[in-house]
Structure 1
Amino acid sequence: MKSTKVIHWILVCLLFSFSTISVVLGAEKTTHSWGYEGDNNPSQWGRLSAEYETCAMGLFQSPIHLTPSNLIRQDGKIETHYQPTPLVINNNGHTIQINYEPGSYAMINGKKYELKQFHFHTPSEHSLNGKKSDMELHLVHQNEKGNIAVIGVFIEAGKANSTVTTIWNHLSETEGIQEVKEQIINASDFIANNASYFHYQGSLTTPPCSENVIWNVMREPLEASRQQIDQFMKLYPMNARPIQEHNNRLVELIINQSS
């Protein structure tokens, strides 16, 4: 009986690994249908497939509540080394995702992670001081060992964002990938180096909800206009996973002297 359970968990782990790579690299579809409402809403993700079991059984799931009362450190930092890339928009049925060319990376607490893609959620998935923002941007990275690190940025209504404008100008209601090669964007427009951020260990916020994801959520928000936010919401009125149990995780607020 024990050997059977061991084999089962080995197979599950292999499925998690494959699914995680697919999500990070921007696969258009996952194996099983999931969503944010109806019968396949987040409360049901863990029951849809064996490869999604971590969504229900995981102890270090994301997103979570964040608060400045967390442990404060001053010995960490994020440095982004993002290059311009041709605009490739993937409307994957769950969000608007921008796939990134190889060669751009972030140094997160001294470790190198290559930028693979970024995408958007509304409202924000994480909350700060019990309050959610209008949207949240996730810049998804992966290192040579396959480990994932995400930089999260809150988005609040304010001034229009020029990079968001460029992307939104090419949005389509039709699912699929659009290559706008004549249009160049740069993810460095979204994030300031050496900004203060919350650092913790969590998971992907979409199936398969794989854990051991290093989260780095910027303390200061990005601005986008109300019109830009509403334009996204016409396609995806709500695509945020609910807040998950904290389970006494260590969450650090890394404050840099320059921020």
Structure 2
Amino acid sequence: MKNVLLAVFLMVALVPVAFAGGHGGEVHWGYHGDIGPEYWGDLSPDFHMCKDGKSQTPIDIVSAVEADQPELTFNYEDTTLAVINNGHTIKANYGEGSSISVDGKTYQLLQFHFHSLSENKVEGSYFPLEAHLVHQATDGSLAVVGILFEEGAANPLLERLWGYTPSKVNSTTTVGSASINVSDLLPESADYYGFTGSLTTPPCSEGVKWMVLQNNPTVSPAQIAKFRSFFNDQETKRPIQPLNGRVVYK
């Protein structure tokens, strides 16, 4: 039951109203003011890991250790073009049949979404945009692939997504006659930084396998500005969390 509930949360994750089951109904959270990240852990008992957790994400990826990491293989199929503006991010749920394979385990792709600035940093530096591809295995364990974009040429898939994104919060644009493939966001290399972390939004659940790709596709200044325009030019990222002794591998 716990895994089922977590899967349901992930499919609706990052909505303006996050549900704290069993503790009095709806709990509003955000990125600014008295419902911002520094207060998440106090908004609901269900969110306590946001302040009590010791393996939280995002992190600053510094002094990553060279290692022979398991190969990351992408198996992404096309899915119907459906873009969601939930007031926190631009998100697309993904149809069944797409997955990643790593270390002998398969994780199904549930959804992907974006943050600006990036949530994770590399050697102290933010990136203008980060994509999170959220996956789940049959045992309920989670894996997130992070893609850090650097400023440069426009990305064709982002151009399509932004073009169909509704300006109204809590609304979805579905184009049944069109499809997308999230592999169009991927860089050529699957080399990655690997670490154990958490969800970056409430309830900040831990035990998430993180793989942040080391190579950076590009996004244009206009595409960055367009994304941020949906959120009143405010940042949509959680602050950097302490490593607490964790090792990041590359």
Question: Could you tell me the TM-score, scaled by structure 2's length?
Answer: 0.91
Report the counterpart of residue 18 of structure 2 in structure 1: 30
Gaps of 5+ in 1: 1-12, 254-259
Work out whether 1:248 is the aligned partner of 2:242. no
CA distance in 2 between counterparts of 1:193 and 1:156 reads 15
- Kept after mapping to 2: 8 A contact 1:19/1:30: no
| C-alpha deviation, 1:61, in angstroms | 0.4
Report how far residue 34 of structure 1 moved: 0.3
- Correspondence 1:163 to 2:157: yes
Q: For residue 73 of structure 2, what is the aligned residue in structure 1?
A: 79
What is the number of residues matched between the two proteins?
238
What stretches of structure 1 move > 6 A for 4+ residues in a row?
none
2:244 partner amino acid: N
2:179 is paired with a residue of what secondary structure? strand
- Provide the aligned C-alpha RMSD in A: 1.6
> How far does the alpha carbon of each residue in 1:114-151 deviate from its partner, in whole angstroms, 9 at most, with x for none?
00100000000000010000010000000101111000
Give the 5 Å matches for 1:221-236.
Answer: 221-236=216-231
Q: For 1:185 and 1:124, how far apart are their aligned partners in 2? A: 23
1:142 aligns with 2:136: yes
Aligned to 2:46: 51
Q: Could you tell me which runs of 5 or more consecutive residues in structure 2 were left unpaired when the two chains were aligned.
A: 20-26
Query: Displacement, 1:21?
Result: 2.4
In the alignment, structure 1 residue 64 sits paired with structure 2 residue 50: no
1:93-172 alignment runs, 5 A limit: 93-172=87-166
- Deviation for aligned residue 1:88: 1.2
How far has the Cα of 1:25 moved from its partner? 1.5
CA distance in 2, matches of 1:131, 1:235: 24
Fraction of identical pairs, as percent? 37
Question: 2:6 pairs with 20, 25, 33, which one?
Answer: 20
Residues 243 and 226 from structure 1, CA distance in 2 versus in 1: closer, same or farther, beyond 3 angstroms? same
What is the CA distance between 1:157 and its match in structure 2? Answer: 1.2
Rounded to whole Å, the distance in 2 between the matches of 1:140 and 1:157 is 23
2: CA distance between counterparts of 1:244 and 1:188?
29
Give the Å deviation of 1:18.
6.5
TM-score by length of 1: 0.88
Query: For the structure 1 residues 142 and 136, does the alpha-carbon distance in structure 2 shift closer, same or farther, using more than 3 Å as the test?
Result: same
Name the aligned partner's letter for residue 144 of structure 1. Answer: T
How far apart, in 2, do the equivalents of 1:53 and 1:75 lie?
32
Q: For the Cα contact (< 8 Å) 2:189–2:215, is it kept in 1?
A: no
Cα–Cα, structure 1 residues 75 and 251, in superposed 2: closer, same or farther, change >3 Å?
Answer: closer
Separation in 2 of the partners of 1:75 and 1:177? 38
Q: What are the Cα deviations for residues 1-50 of structure 1, in whole angstroms up to 9, with x where unaligned?
A: xxxxxxxxxxxx95xx6763233223544121000101101000000001
Larger-Rg structure:
1
How big is each residue's C-alpha offset from its partner over 1:46-105, in whole Å with a ceiling of 9 and x where there is no partner?
A: 0000110000000100001102x3221124211101001111112112101011000000
Shift of 1:250: 2.0
More displaced stretch, 29-38 vs 98-107: 29-38
Q: Which residue of the partner structure matches residue 34 of structure 2?
A: 39
Partner of 2:22: none
